[in-house]
Every structure is written in structure tokens, then in C-alpha cells.
Amino acid sequence: MKTAVDRSKIDPADAPAGKAITLIEAVTQALAWEMRHDDSVVVLGEDVGVNGGVFRATAGLQQQFGPMRVLDTPLDETTIAGLTVGMAAMGMKPVAEAQFDGFIYPMLDHIICHAARFRYRTRGRLTCPMVLRVPWGGGIRAPEHHSEANEAMFTNVPGLRVVLPSSPARAYGLLLAAIREPDPVIYFEPKRIYRQYKELVPDDGEALPLDVCYVLRDGSDVTLVTWGAQVKETLEAAERLAEEGISAEVIDVATLKPLDFATIAESVAKTGRCVIVHEAPRTAGFGAEIAARLAEHSMYDLVAPVERVTGYDTHMPLFRLEMKYMPSVDKVVAAAKRTVANS
Amino acid sequence: MKTAVDRSKIDPADAPAGKAITLIEAVTQALAWEMRHDDSVVVLGEDVGVNGGVFRATAGLQQQFGPMRVLDTPLDETTIAGLTVGMAAMGMKPVAEAQFDGFIYPMLDHIICHAARFRYRTRGRLTCPMVLRVPWGGGIRAPEHHSEANEAMFTNVPGLRVVLPSSPARAYGLLLAAIREPDPVIYFEPKRIYRQYKELVPDDGEALPLDVCYVLRDGSDVTLVTWGAQVKETLEAAERLAEEGISAEVIDVATLKPLDFATIAESVAKTGRCVIVHEAPRTAGFGAEIAARLAEHSMYDLVAPVERVTGYDTHMPLFRLEMKYMPSVDKVVAAAKRTVANS
Amino acid sequence: MRVAASFEIEYLQYLDADGRMVADLPATAPPPDEVLALFKQMLFLRAFDGKAVALQRTGKLGTYAPCLGHEATQIGIGATMRPEDVLAPSYREYGAQILRGVRLREILMYWGGDERGNDFQNARHDFPWAVPIATQCLHAAGAALAFKLRGEPRVAVTCCGDGGSSKTDTYAAINAAGAYTLPFVQCIINNGWAISVPRSAQTGAQTLAQKGLAGGLHCLQVDGNDLFAVLEGMRRAMERARAGEGGSVIEFMTYRLHDHTTADDARRYRDEAEVKEAWTRDPVTRLRTWLGGQGLWDEAREKDWLAECARLVDIEIDAYLDTKTQPPEVMFDYLYADLPPDILEQRAQLLALEGRA
Amino acid sequence: MRVAASFEIEYLQYLDADGRMVADLPATAPPPDEVLALFKQMLFLRAFDGKAVALQRTGKLGTYAPCLGHEATQIGIGATMRPEDVLAPSYREYGAQILRGVRLREILMYWGGDERGNDFQNARHDFPWAVPIATQCLHAAGAALAFKLRGEPRVAVTCCGDGGSSKTDTYAAINAAGAYTLPFVQCIINNGWAISVPRSAQTGAQTLAQKGLAGGLHCLQVDGNDLFAVLEGMRRAMERARAGEGGSVIEFMTYRLHDHTTADDARRYRDEAEVKEAWTRDPVTRLRTWLGGQGLWDEAREKDWLAECARLVDIEIDAYLDTKTQPPEVMFDYLYADLPPDILEQRAQLLALEGRA
Ligand SMILES: Cc1ncc(C[n+]2csc(CCOP(=O)(O)OP(=O)(O)O)c2C)c(N)n1
Ligand SMILES: Cc1ncc(C[n+]2csc(CCOP(=O)(O)OP(=O)(O)O)c2C)c(N)n1
Ligand SMILES: [Mg+2]
Ligand SMILES: [Mg+2]
């Protein structure tokens, strides 16, 4: 098992030269690094070229690497997915962008039936080393279909890896790892925190492991498990709980599939309580898998029922009400307190 | 809350005239009944017309109702899904067929972005009363992509209903209900047991509720929860367990979304143990949701860890090994015994 | 050489960029007073569009997709349809929608983050705005199929952009319309750009109209900045559809004079000179010139009408601004016809959090 | 009438159904001895196909999709490709695959439920069989894009059926090939049927070749039962591709003489008379007639060659039948380059169940 080096904990003094950047700049930095060091990496998607992507994740890359490395595609997600699979099978390392989470559904057929299966189907003869980058989740006051948390559907698909970083440093290290990974990776980017804060991310080409959870805060009373943009609210909740004398451990899952359940189980063995926080609708969200594994493996450790703080089982409302839909600090704090009260 | 009348338990003597039919004949019978009684019901899909479907689910329907009620479509699943949404929005009740489970992925965009949202999006102005029938699961020695258990991905989507009958009588009653339902229903048909056995299914147009689980066998030591083709193995496992003095309750979930968790919780409150059995890959299969709800709501009832007996987290192998992939009576028995031993 | 099939695609233009008639108007062309009425609608649309952009710029609207430059195409499409027909628009076809009864406040509510915008009080059976590109095209084909199966004399009209013409849904809709001979009109609004991607990068096809050949549909390319050409092209397609002769694909050649949306900055990828040149083909200017030549329009009349437009638009804007944000529990309304128990429970939790349990 | 665009699609046929040359062979046509060699491959393919069906009927093979009637098309496609080109077949193009080195035992293993069938020992870079209709077309376009980006002089060739020509993936591949000017050849094998759905129900297009117009590709319709026409059509497309002139769509007019697969019974939906008529256009018979006329073939030679075919096919069948079913844990092999811990755990559980922990 690989071990996680939490790059966000690197002391700036010890770090190689680097600068403080946002999460989306970390994405750009990782793309540029890998394109410089591996000729087979190409970037493709709608508006990724001259425009640098609607979020600017690929800003400057076409200027730097030319139109044969950074390709605008025709406006069709089926096309993007199918081309990506074909290119990957021929030995390239395409990094495709879905413009928004709500537009990935036409890509699923090629991802599920082909990307996830080429190695398996051909007994290793052809493979599919690709990355699909997906700006993910709500909270940016965008129109319909621009705010979906649809990571769960990929987690039931064998052969895929699913990654969802929540800090600039992890975005950089995990994207490098995703591109280098010989199998397909769905790489979700929490767009709400694209520009939330900056941190020092040395541009040193150091990848992070793709199957490790991050303990972001140590605690002894309750384990808060989350990923993506909700890491922010969850850390804030831990802070609030601390003020009330409840010590919360916070885990950023970061790599959903394969799941590093050991880290979660270890924490719950210590705390005896677990609150899972995610933005997606509750029913059959990925939180269900974590709760299920706790019910299987950590039953005797748990002193209180597991809690899930999630999006409701309805559609993400248009932007006026979107923040009412999502997990909030209050909701997490309340759930954590229930686990303490119930035990 | 509606209550379930388990039509498989109707005493033949009390039943209206009917004949013993297989599960797939029950599908045909339900389609024909509803088409006779509701002009707005149309059937569409690949080869559903003259050919009566590759499984013969629509056999005779085009002859009976004509080509304006039973439509062969061009060979494109995106087309089928999109046309279905458009027709439903204009007040028809289309029942679309996906030829096999492995071919539904191109349909997801229209199902998720539109079918599931039309009522919500237009505040009730336009709706999407459609059914998507999907022959489901493995075990028929078919080629690649013909044996997928991919129900879980629909269960995280708000606005959908997901149904998976496991007997001729339930297939009939639930399909009638699905067609009459004013919202979209994904109706999976366990193709492995399409012709497994016959039972008396009166053609009386009586629908079954869409949100009720079926307790197929009463027991006191362990609750076995399953759906679809695995109901057969699970009942056999209960039989075997009984021989060894373990009393197993068997629940056929039948309607996955919305989930009738109350029936499951009630059973687990009694038995204290739960084994969830499903064919889909374990990780983030729908079993995870059931286990999660148990971890949330039934923690104090459980005397042993929850167990899941599922497909492995790999692809359904080609047919030579497919039965090795799936849950078996042995695997269920072993898991149930572990729950007894572990408590 | 043996020929398996051959095709010709006609190009329609009557009024050129300078407002000169370059071809004889067809007998079916509307009389001048009707043209005048439609011109006034074009001005109205432009007035609204500008105000909507301004609302967004001042933080009173979410992201908005302007229709500047598309006025002749949109008004021409809307004018050719009957109430019982059905429109499946993309996110930009306000002009056609307004003629079908969609209210400006509804447009603003939608872009203002309020679901009620899609609950058109008129145009009850029209499709809502479709954000996932071109999916509406297949819904229109499905609607057309419903009309055909039920024997209703209705036509389904749908619009997508030049970018949308690359989307597999558009191809699927064209194919289905051909396979079933449907009363279906696919309008491809070629405004030169799909966000930052120029028309030339979307496809190797010389015209977007010829995409209809893939499904055996009637194909036509028209000057989308010439209201007369739009009306004639649509008339032909609608008549074919009503006569049971099947579907059409019409490519409307127009131009996106604005940024893609208010969230976009076209200067990043588009030459200002191109936009300047495109303004010389503006649909409003050329029709104004022609109407002026006919003695039907002048500066004074324009001034009065623009004042009236401003008044009418402001009424709608005020209505929009006066619309209170809905209480959060509406996110559970209309999820299902009957809410399942676990959803009701979540709704109750939300109400409890809001202190209104 | 102003014309926006016009198109002509050529039809290629040299050898008619009766084995008569009806047009001058192009200078590029292969010499008779090469034609003879390809004819022998057609016979070989047919011999294999019949045996495979027989294997299925006796329970020694799973469902199998026969290629009876497609011999000229498949052999012609395979013969025109170079080893470094790439083929993305559907599930039926054994003829082309055999010429590229795919072994009969691999074909049998695939349909016999053994994953190793797709691990082609030759043709290492060709795509595996694709069951989800037409998805392979986009993979071929992706491969062609890779070739173009890397500056490799290779062509990606893909096949789909008449049914597959309705699939959105095919349209997408055509569109991408046009947008990027790719070295791409889309073969549409029009065998008249998609299981029970006739060609006429798939689309309103007069030809399937014209689907290429939607993406601005070179379009051609050829008699797919005439080996000369297939070779010439493919040669043109491959040369265009190699010359950087972009992609082509070729519609091969042939016929599915068998049921769709061994799991299908075509009598439910297809007139026997139609099949009988189709036999009069059989690709094998007509070429045999022509070769006989050239003095290159006769009954004796055919008898010998068929005996040789039977021998060769039997060797492969025996190899297939001798192939042991793999142990179940192979279902975890090649799932990932590195198996994650929880998958290793599941593998261990499986081994334990098998008593081999
Ligand atoms: C399926 C999908 N992919 C991507 C987008 C993001 N997007 C919104 S508009 C647009 C460009 C559309 O261009 P075009 O079809 O030409 O229409 P126009 O905006 O020019 O009217 C894109 C890529 C989307 N809405 N839906
Ligand atoms: C996406 C998808 N949908 C449905 C099927 C089931 N199916 C297998 S073959 C076939 C018909 C194919 O017809 P055509 O493309 O004409 O090829 P042919 O079999 O005639 O060679 C269908 C519907 C499939 N394999 N994939
Ligand atoms: Mg455009
Ligand atoms: Mg065919």
C-alpha cells in the first residue's frame, strides 16, 4: 500500500521553489508539467484551446503546446469520449475535459463499455490510459445542469478510478497521478472552490497516490468523512465542534475508487462515531458505500448510528435555492452532535 | 402507505380466470392489457415489432395493435430515449424497450437530464410518464454486454422509480403500475428467470404498488434481502439454512426506488441480522444503500455485522465463468451462517 | 460514372445586407403591414435583450444568453408556427418564444434562478429551455411522432446552433424524422460560433443544411438575417410537414453579435473586425432600410416604438424583480406526482432547519 | 434558384451478379492471380463460417454471428489495408480480420465465452470485436486522430452495418473525421437487415453512403458482392486517407444470407423469397464464374481447395476445443494494471471458495 504524503502540509520553507496557487491553477500546472514531460499527453474538449476552457483550466496550454496537443472538439460529448478511448488505445494519453458535470452522461457508454474494459477485454493487449476531467458540483450560481454531483454512478463500474481532490496541492499531485495511471481515471474538480484559496504548490512533478484518504484533522470523538468542496464546510464544522468540546477527526476521501477504507475504519475504531458528508443526493450516493462498509466491518467499533449529511433526494434547484440543498456547517455540526448524544 | 398484495400468494381457487404463465409472458400480458385499455400506450424499441422482441416480450403485439402502437426504431438507443421523452411530454405513455442491459448507457442522458426532470423543471406543466423496460442480468450464456446488472446507477437519480420484479405475478402487477405511474419508471426484467417457472397470473388489470417490498418467507434468525433473479438462490439458501436450524426471512425488494425500507427495518428488528444479496458489483451497488440505512436506523437492532453477497468488483466475465461471478446459494448460506456465528 | 444519388441544396435570400431586394418575393410572402408588425417585434426583442444584459451586469440576473443578431431568424420562426404546433427551443430563442406567448418575466425568472420561469402561462405545451445542447431536437422528433401517431395536424419545430449541429442528438432527430416521415422542422441557427469554437471547426461539411441529407430530409440554407428568406424557408418546411411529406433541415446563416453569454468574454478568441463586419449584415438595419423605402417606417416612428418597447419591457422587469424567491421546500415540489415517504421526511427535515417544522 | 451546395454519389460495380464484367476494370485493379488468391480466401471464410454455425448447433460454441454473403466485402476490405493500419470491426468482420492475422481459434474463443479470443496474437493493435453497435467507429476516428497527431502514415478503417449507420456513434465518427480531416474509412456494410428491421426502416436516406455528406466526407456506394468494386472503392478511400485528403464513407451493398445470429430465426420476419433472390447475387458464385471464364478455376481445383480449407479450419477448431476453460480467478486479471487491495481480497475469497486459497 502506498502512503499519502499530504502536500498541503509541506512546510513552505522546505518546499522546492513554487508559488501559491488556486486549485484551478494547480490543475493547469499539472497539465502543463505532464505535457512538457510526456509527448503522448494531449488535452481535448470543448473550448479548451484558444479560450483555455470556460473555467480557464487549460489557459495558455494551446499557446504553449500548439493545436496538435490541445484540441478543441466538435460540440458532442459522445465524440469526446469515443475519440479519447480510440486515442488511448493507440498509446496516447488523452486528458479530456467535460465542460460541466451535467454534460457527462453521453460519455458514459464509452467510459463504461470501453474505457473501463479495454485492458480486461483484450487481456492487456490494448489499454485505455485516459483521464476525464469534470468540473463538479454546485454553488457557483450557474444555470441548470451546471451543478451536478454525480460521482456515485462511476463507483459501481469496475475498471475505473474516481478521484476528487479538495485542495490545490492535492489537485496537482492527484492529476499528475491520474495522467500517469495506466487505467482510466475520472477526475472531478470541485468548481465551487476552484478559486477559494491559494496554497504553495511546488511544480516538481510529484504525484500523489491514487488510493489514499487524507486525515486532515485529528480527533477522538467523531469521524467526519467527506470529499470535494464539502471539505471546507466539514473542517469548519470540526472547528465549531471543538468549541463545544467535541473532538472531530476529518477525513478527505479524495480517491473514491478504489476506496482506502482502512484509513476510515481506523479512525472510526478510535472515535466510534461517523458522519459522512457529501453533496450528491443521499440515496445511493457514495456515502452509502462507506456506511455499508462500516456496517460490515466496524459494527463493533461504532457506539452510535452512522449519519449521512448529504444533498436531498431531489434535483439541485436553480441557483436561488442551491445553497439550501447542500450540506452546511450547521447540518454537519448537528449530525455530529447527534452521534455524540445517541451513544 | 400502500400495502402489498402478493399476487403470487393468491389461491388459484379464489383467483379470476387466468392461466399459468412465465415471467416474460406476464410482461407481454401486462403490455397487452394496458394497450387494450389505454390508447395512449405505445411500445417502441429495436425489433419489438414483427419480431416481437429478441426475447419475445412483445410477441404478437404489433399484429394485435398495429404498427402505430408498436414501433420498431432505428438502431440507436439515444434515439429511443429521446423520442420516448418527447412522446411522453406530449401526453403519450411510451413503453420503450432496451434490447439488453448493456445497451442502456446512451439512454442515460435523456433519462437523467430530461425524463427525471420534466415535471420538476416545468413545475408540473409537462411530465414524462414513460417506462423503460430493460432485460437485466447474467446467466443466459450470452455474449459480452448482454449480462449487466446496472440498476444501481439509476437509484442515485432523483425523480426516477426503479423496479425489478422476480415472479410472473409481480412482473405483471408491477408493469401495469409502472405504465400507469405518471412519472418515469425503469423496469428491469431478470432475464435469467424469464422462463424459469410458471404461475397463475389472472389477466385482471390489477396493478401492484410501486413502493413495497415483499416478504417471501418468514424467519426469525436472519433477514436475507435481495431482488431480481437472485430471489431464486436466496430462497434456496433459506431452505438450506432451515435444514441447519437457521430461520431466514427472505425479502424481495422489488421496488428499489423509492425504497420501502420500513419493511426491511422491521424484519431486521426481529432477526438482528441481515445479508444483502445482489448480482451487481459490490462497491456502490444498491446493497450499499440498504446497508447504509441499516447502519443509520437499525444499529441497535443488529447483533451481527451486515453482510453483502454480491457480484465481484470486476466485469461480468464471458459466459464460461459467469456463474462463478454471481452470488450462489453456497455464498448466501455461508454469509448467513457467519452472521449467526458472529453474534 | 454511375450515380447512386445526387443532391442540390438551395440558398434563399431576398433582402440583402443593404436592404435591397435581390430576388422576387414569393407570392406567399406576407403583405407589408405584416412585415412591419414583425419588424416591430424584432425591435422589441432587441430592446428586451439589451435590458436583460444590463440586468445581469448589475447583479439582478444570473448568467444570460443574449440573442443580439438573431432577431430575423427567431421572429421568422415564431411567426410561421401555429399555436397548436410545438416549439422545442435551445436556451436562446426568445424571439420565437415571445410570439408563442412566453412572457419576458418568465425568461428572466429562468435565468434568474427561479424554476417558475419554465412554467409558461401561455405556450403551455411548448418544451422548456434546454441547456444540454441539442437534446431538445430529439424531444421535438418524439413530439412529431406523437402527432403522427395520433393523427394530429401539428408540427414540431426545434432549434439548435451550429455547435449543436455536431451533437449526436441532432443527427438522431434527423434520422428519426426521416425514418418515420415526421412533421418535424430542424432549424440550425448558424451564428458562426459555439462559445469559442468557430463553425469551421465543428464539421467538414460545406453547409450545415446538408446534415439533413443523412436522414433523407428536405434541406435548405437561408439568409437568417433576411426576414423574408426566413419566412419563406419556414413556410416551405411547415407546409411539407403538414402535407405529410416529412421533415426538413434549415440552416439559418446569422451571426452572434454578442458574447456567448454574459459569463463569456469573446475578445479572448474572436477578432473584433469580424464582429464589425457582421454588423454590416445586421437583420434589423436592412429591414429598417427596406421598410423606410416602402414609406412604412421612419425615425419618428422608431423613436415612439422604442419608447413603447422600453415601457413594455420595464413592466416585465418590474414583475420579475418583484417576484419573491420561493421558500426552499419547493425543491421537493413536482419531483414526483406523489412524494414517497422518505422524500416527505427529507422535506420535513428541511422545514425543521428553516424553523418552520 | 441559388445553389448552396450540390453532391453526386458514385456507384461502383464491375462484375455483375452473373459474373460478367459490366465496366472496364481500373488500371489499379489487382492482377488475376491476386484476385484468385482473394477468391480462395472467400471460400476459406465461407468454409469456416459454416463450421462455426455447426459448432454452435452442437452446443460447442455460444451465440455466433455468421458472415455468409459478406465474403467479397470483408475480404476486399482486409486486402486493401496495410499491417500498420488499424481495423475497428463490428462483431462480424472475420474475413477482414483473418487477412490481418486474426486466428480462427481466436474467433471461436470469443464466441465460445473465453476472453482470450480478443488477445489477437497477430494484429496486435487492431481493435477487439465491438458488441455495442457502432461504438468502434468512434474508436477508429480516435485512432485516426492519434495517427494524424503523431504524423504516422496509417489509416483507421471501421465497419458497421446498415443498422449501425443509424447509431449516433457513426454520425459522430463521420463528423469528427470531417472536422479534423482524418485518415479514416467508414465502411457501412449494408446487408439489408438489422436483426428484424429492414434497411428501409432505419432511415429516410436514399443511400447510406450519403451519411458521409453530413461530415463533408468522400462518399461512395459500391456493390459489396463484387470483389473488384470493393477493392477499387477501398483503394480510393485508403489513398485519399494516406494523402491527407481526409475520410470516406463507403456503403457496401450486400446481403445477410443467414439468420442474424445463431440465436435468431429470420423466418419470423423475412420472406424466404427475398433470401432466394439474394442468392442470385452471391459474391462467391459470380467471382467463380468470372475466374472460370479466365481459365483460372474449375471444379477440381475447387474440390481440392475446399478439402484444404476443411483441413485448415479443423486444425483451428481442434485447437479451440482443446482450450481449457480458464480458472475463475482470471476474472480479476487485467482489471487494472495494479489490482487495488479490496479487489485482491475479493480474488482471495473466490480462491477460497474454489478450495484453492
Ligand atoms: C451537452 C452540452 N455540452 C456542453 C454545453 C456547454 N455549452 C453551452 S452553449 C455551448 C455552445 C453552443 O453553441 P451553438 O450550438 O452554436 O449555439 P449558440 O450558443 O451559438 O447559439 C456549449 C458548448 C452544454 N450546454 N451542453
Ligand atoms: C448498442 C446496441 N444496441 C443493440 C444491440 C443488439 N443488436 C445486436 S446486432 C443488432 C443489429 C445490427 O444490425 P446491423 O448494424 O445492420 O449489422 P448486421 O448485424 O446486419 O451486420 C442489434 C440491434 C447491440 N449489440 N448494441
Ligand atoms: Mg452558434
Ligand atoms: Mg445489417
Ligand 2 close to Cβ of residue D70 (< 6 A): no
Provide the pLDDT for residue A4. Answer: 47
Buried b (16+ CB within 10 A) or exposed e, B130-159: bbbbbbbbbbbebbbbbbbbbbbbbbbbbb
Is D38 a domain residue? yes
Q: Which residues of D touch B142 (CB under 8 A)?
A: 62-63
Which domain, by its residues, includes C218?
10-326
Record: contact B86-C179, CB cut-off 8 A: no
Contact assignment for B110 to C135 by CB distance below 8 Å: yes
Q: Chain B contact for D192, CB < 8 A? A: no
Residue D2 within a domain = no
D272 and D332 fall within a common domain: no
How far from the centroid of its chain's Cα atoms is residue D299's Cα? 28
Residue C3 included in any domain: no
> Do the Cβ atoms of D177 and A118 come closer than 8 Å?
no
Nearest-5° angle of CA A24, CA A28, CA A32? Answer: 165
pLDDT band at C295 (very low <50, low <70, confident <90, very high): very high
Residue C35 C-alpha cell reads as 412585415
Distance CA(A260)–CA(D276), nearest Å, equals 62
Residue ranges of chain B whose pLDDT lies below 50? 1-12
Cα separation, D286 vs B166, in Å, equals 53
Dihedral sign computed on CA atoms, order D215, D221, D222, D224: positive
- pLDDT band, very low/low/confident/very high, at A343 (cuts 50, 70, 90): confident
Average pLDDT, chain C: 98
CB contact under 8 A, C166 and A79: yes
Q: What's the pLDDT score for residue B343?
A: 75
CA–CA separation, B271 vs B223, rounded Å?
Answer: 6
Please give the order of strands across the beta sheet that includes C156-161. C86-88, C156-161, C184-190, C248-253, C218-223, C2-12, D2-12, D218-223, D248-253, D184-190, D156-161, D86-88
Same domain, D237 and D337: no
The CB of D69 under 6 Å from ligand 2? The reply is: no
User: Would you say how long chain A is, in residues?
Assistant: 343
Window 240-269 of B: residues touching C by CB (8 A cutoff) are: 258-259, 261-262
What tens digit of pLDDT does each residue of A146-182 get? Answer: 999 999 999 999 999 999 999 999 999 999 999 999 9
The answer to whether the peptide bond before residue B258 is cis (omega within 30 degrees of 0) is yes
Q: Does A102 touch chain B (CB under 8 A)?
A: yes
Q: Can you give the pLDDT at residue A55?
A: 97
Tell me whether A159 touches chain B (CB under 8 Å).
yes
- Residues of D identified as active-site: 256, 260, 269
D344 and D259 inside one domain: no
Residues D91 and D144 in one domain: yes
Look at residue B17 in the predicted model and tell me its pLDDT: 64
Q: Which of C86, C330, C334, C344 to mutate to test the interface with B (most CBs of B within 10 A)?
A: C334
Q: What is the pLDDT of residues B210-264, one digit of tens each?
A: 999 999 999 999 999 999 999 999 999 999 999 999 999 999 999 999 999 999 9
CA distance B42 to C282: 47
The answer as to whether C2 is a domain residue is no
For chain B, the chains sharing at least 3 beta-carbon pairs closer than 8 angstroms are A, C, D
**What residues of chain C lie within 8 A of the CB of A52, using their CB?**
268
Q: How confident is the model at residue A16 (pLDDT cuts 50, 70, 90)?
A: low
Query: Which amino acid appears at position A254 of this protein?
Result: A
Q: For the residues of D80-117, what is the DSSP string, one character each? A: H--TTSEEE--S--HHHHHHTT--HHHHHHHHTT-GGG
Model confidence at D356, pLDDT cuts 50, 70, 90, reads confident
Which listed residue (C154, C260, C281, C288) is catalytic? C260
Distance D256 CA to ligand 2 centre (A): 13
**Same structural domain, D279 and D345:** no
Q: Rounded distance, CA D170 to CA D177, Å?
A: 11
CA distance B285 to C298: 69
Same domain, D278 and D289: yes
CA–CA dist B110, A17 (Å, integer): 48
**Rounded Cα–Cα distance for residues C301 and B239 (Å):** 89
pLDDT at residue D232 greater than cutoff 60 = yes
Find, in chain A, the residue whose alpha carbon is nearest to that of C333. A314
| Kind plus residue range of the DSSP H or E element containing A247 | none
C261-280: average pLDDT:
97
- A50–C132 C-beta distance less than 8 A: no
Q: Which residues of B327-337 are buried (b: 16+ CB within 10 A; e: fewer)?
A: bbbebbbebbb
B343 touches chain A (CB under 8 A): no
Smallest-distance ligand from the CA of C166: 1
The grid cell for D157 is 478503417
Q: Which residues of B touch A120 (CB under 8 A)?
A: 314-315
Q: Each residue of D236-263: pLDDT tens digit?
A: 999 999 999 999 999 999 999 999 999 9
Residue C232 parent element (H or E) = helix C227-242
pLDDT at D327 over 50: yes
Rounded Cα–Cα distance for residues A247 and A191 (Å)? 29
- The pLDDT score that the predictor gives to residue A18 is 75
Which residues of A belong to the active site?
A: 146
- List the A93-97 sheet strands across, edge first: A70-72, A41-45, A93-97, A131-136, A185-190, A161-163, A255-257
Domain count, chain D: 2
Question: What is residue A2's predicted lDDT score, i.e. its pLDDT?
Answer: 40
* Nearest-angstrom CA–CA distance, C225 and C231: 11
Check residue A68 and give left, alpha or beta (phi > 0: left; psi -120 to 50: alpha): alpha
Same domain, C98 and C148: yes
Judged against a pLDDT cut of 60, whether residue A33 lies above it is answered with yes
Residue C356 is predicted with a pLDDT of: 85
Same domain, D172 and D201: yes
Kindly state the helix (H) or strand (E) to which residue B165 belongs, with its residue range. none
Do B274 and B306 touch, CB atoms closer than 8 A? yes
Question: Residue B10 has what pLDDT?
Answer: 47
> What value does the mean pLDDT take over residues D187-194?
98
Q: Which long-range contacts (CB under 8 A, 24 or more apart) does D340-343 make?
A: D340/A211, D340/A258, D341/A1, D341/A211, D341/A258, D341/A262, D342/A258, D342/A259, D342/A261, D342/B283, D342/B313, D343/A258, D343/B312, D343/B313, D343/B314
Name every residue whose Cβ is closer than 8 Å to that of residue C257 and which is 6 or more positions away in sequence: C68, C69, C275, C278, C279, C282
Choose the mutation target among A85, A121, A212, A297 for the interface with D, i.e. most D CBs under 10 Å.
A121
CATH of residue D194: 3.40.50.970
Sign of the torsion angle spanned by Cα atoms C91, C94, C99, C101: positive
- On whether both C333 and C223 belong to a single domain, the answer is no
DSSP 8-state code for residue B46: T
Look up the pTM and report it: 0.98
Query: Is A289 close to ligand 1, i.e. is its CB under 6 Å away?
Result: no
**Closest alpha carbon to D125 in D156, D152, D168:** D156
Q: Do C81 and C187 belong to one domain?
A: yes
What is the percent of chain C with per-residue pLDDT over 70, rounded to a whole number?
Answer: 100
Quick one: C344 and C240 in the same domain? no
Residues D193 and D312 placed together within one structural domain of the fold: yes
Rounded to an integer, what distance in angstroms lies between the CA atom of residue D66 and that of residue D257?
9
Provide the shortest C-alpha distance from residue D137 to chain B (in Å). 14
- To the nearest whole Å, the CA of B17 is away from the closest chain D CA by 31
Please judge whether B86 and C168 are an interchain contact, meaning their C-beta atoms are less than 8 angstroms apart: no
Cis preceding-peptide flag for A258 (omega within 30 of 0): yes
Q: Is A7 on the interface with D (CB under 8 A)?
A: no
Confidence check: pLDDT of D58 > 80:
yes
pLDDT at residue A17, as a whole number: 64
Q: Which three cell numbers stand for residue B198?
A: 410458471
Grid cell 447475387 is found at: D281
Q: For residues B166 and B231, is the Cβ–Cβ distance under 8 A?
A: yes
Residue D3: inside a domain? no
- Does D28 fall in a domain? yes
Average pLDDT taken over every residue of chain A: 95
Question: Helices H, strands E: what count in chain A?
Answer: 12, 14
Cα nearest neighbour of B153 on chain A? A153
User: Could you tell me if B63 lies within 8 Å of chain D, comparing CB atoms?
Assistant: no
* Residues C167, A329: Cα–Cα separation, whole Å: 41
| pLDDT tens digits for range C127-176 | 999 999 999 999 999 999 999 999 999 999 999 999 999 999 999 999 99
Looking at residue A12, its pLDDT comes to: 46
Q: Are strands B41-45 and D197-198 parallel, antiparallel or unpaired?
A: unpaired
SS3 B26: helix
Ligand 1 atom nearest C199 alpha carbon? 16
Ligand 2 atom closest to the CA of D132, numbered from 1: 26
* Nearest CA distance, C81 vs chain D (angstrom): 25
